[in-house]
Amino acid sequence: MSRSPKYSFAQLGKELRDQVQHDRDSRQARREASETRIRERVLAEGRTEIVERYRTLKATLATLGRGSQQGGADAVAAALENALRTIRAASSFTELATVAGDLDRAEHSVRSLRLRAAADRTAVLAAMMAEADAELVRYDDGDAAALLAGLAALRRSDPGAAEVDRLAARILEHLDRVAARRTEHQEQRRRAAARIELLAERLDGLLADGRTMRVPVRDGDRAGEALAMLRAQFARGELADVLRFGAALERRIDEIESGLDTVIDQIAERRTVLTSLVRALPEVGFAVEAGSVTESRDGAIGLRASRPGGDTVAVIVEAETEADTSHRILYASEAVQREERLGHGDTACGNLLEVIDVLHESADRAGVVLSPVTWEGRDARRGPARNAPRRMTPPAAGTVRQEENRSWRP
């Protein structure tokens, strides 16, 4: 008999693989539902913002009264009501952007109606510029100062109708450009806010999954730092950078999610394999030692079991480095180790193989496909785990508590 640890290889049968896939699909469905809630909330905030603009325009239109511009006012009122219906039905940022453009055109029409209905057009032009004062600070293209100076000079003189018409046309065009920039900025801000919130929700969900399964989320800390940077850029109004760097972070989180799901699936499979084996331990007189179930940070999982007044065995399931879909099972016995130290071990080794046979029969009934047990030198095609000696050594004092995952028991 060999003095090396015994080992075999395991794969899940179809039914068990389907269960692992079902669990992954459930995680994905939960994540998608969470992202949908975030997206709907941000869209609702956008709808509310645009509805406020609709109400402002409607209130302004109502002040114009019913006169010679009635036909024009009715058309604008109809356009506003149509825009309101579109706002309430909008289900994407693209639809919100479209209706915001409709309100830009309605706002232009309201300004034109105000100007036509005014007895003192220069006073109305001054009022329009004053109303847009806060927006001019953010969205002015440099014309505001010259237009305000020209308007002030015009009001100090006795201008003719043609002169007022020319300045009015310039001011209306300027206000249209300001409104368009405002709409573009608000849309960009909505998209940037949504991207940050969606990325934060995704990352929080992945970190929670990692904590639940007690596995590290690779690059999770770096993703958190990148997210903090995006929030700082958003606060500074660097929206284009938020969208650009946010897209890169989204791709990285896609990779993090894929890697985490793979790790979770592998750990779930190893737990299933170990559970299928240890169910049979009582049949051969062994009981799992309290506190011995451990999961190490590299994904290996194992336990120790003992017979009253007799042998202690260790069973560990770890990654099989030569195949993505199989797992390596390591078996060791204190009785074998004792006999080896005395220079022989055939009896204890044979007893261990008999125990392993019973465990394999249990795993087979549970739907786990196992290779025959082997050991170093017996099967030249596949060598034993390079870290097998470390795996077979009982954990040092204090390490079990650190690595134990209390959320799972076989």
Token pair belonging to 123: 């006073």
Q: Dig out the tokens for 363 from the structure.
A: 């795993």
Ordered mean pLDDT values, 10 residues apiece, the chain (410 residues): 74 92 92 92 93 93 67 87 94 93 94 88 89 74 84 86 91 90 92 95 94 88 96 96 96 96 91 91 89 82 87 88 76 76 65 88 92 71 42 38 43
Position 211: which residue type? R
Q: Whole-angstrom Cα distance, residue 3 to residue 119?
A: 106
SS3 6: strand
Residue 360 belongs to some domain of the structure: yes
Domain region containing 323: 6-19+269-403
Return the pLDDT at 216.
87
CATH of residue 309's domain is 3.30.310
Q: Are 147 and 129 within 8 A, CB to CB?
A: yes
The pLDDT of residue 157 is: 86
Q: Is residue 38 one of the residues assigned to a domain?
A: no
Q: 141 in a domain, yes or no? A: no
The reported pLDDT for the residue numbered 381 is 46
Report yes or no on 233 lying in a domain: no
Amino acid 136: pLDDT: 66
Q: Are 289 and 367 in contact (CB under 8 A)?
A: no
Count Cα atoms within 13 angstroms, Cβ side, for 23: 17
Token couple for 27:
């995680």
Q: Which amino acid is at 46?
A: G
Residue 368 within a domain: yes
Q: What's the CA gap between 271 and 410, in Å, rounded? A: 7
- pLDDT score at 292: 87
Q: CA dist 324 to 14, 216, 223, 370, 391, Å? A: 16, 19, 27, 15, 20
> Residue 129's closest CA among 58, 79, 179?
179
What pLDDT sits at residue 69?
A: 55
Strand partners, 359: none
Full-model pTM: 0.77
| C-alpha–C-alpha distance, residues 138 and 117, integer Å | 29
The answer to whether 328 and 317 have CB atoms below 8 angstroms apart is yes
pLDDT of residue 192: 96
Res 143: pLDDT: 80
Q: What is the pLDDT at residue 3?
A: 54
Candidates 348, 340, 341, 362; CA nearest to 307 is 348
Distance CA 243, CA 229 (A): 12
Number of helices (H), then strands (E), belonging to the chain: the values are: 13, 7
**Which tokens go with 239?**
């929206």
Name which of 219, 291, 214 is nearest 252 in CA terms. 219
* Amino acid of residue 196: I
Closest residue by Cα to residue 99 from 82, 75, 112, 113: 82
147: closest CA among 161, 162, 134, 133? 133
Total number of domains in the chain: 1
Q: Which phi and psi angles does 353 have, rounded to 5°?
A: -65, -35
Sequence-distant (≥ 6) Cβ neighbours of residue 378 within 8 angstroms: 2
The answer for residues whose C-beta is within 8 angstroms of residue 220's C-beta and 6 or more apart is 203, 206, 207, 210, 256
- For residue 285, give both structure tokens: 């007189």
d(CA 266, CA 318): 9
Whether 335 is covered by a domain: the verdict is yes
pLDDT at 276: 92
Whole-Å CA distances, 211 to 25, 214, 271, 285? 19, 5, 16, 35
Instruction: Cite the beta strand spans of 182-311 per DSSP E.
Output: 287-288, 294-295, 301-306
Predicted local confidence at residue 66, as pLDDT: 56
Q: Would 241 be classed as within a structural domain?
A: no
Q: Give a yes or no: residue 231 inside a domain.
A: no
**Cα–Cα distance for residue pair 78/106, rounded to 1 Å:** 10
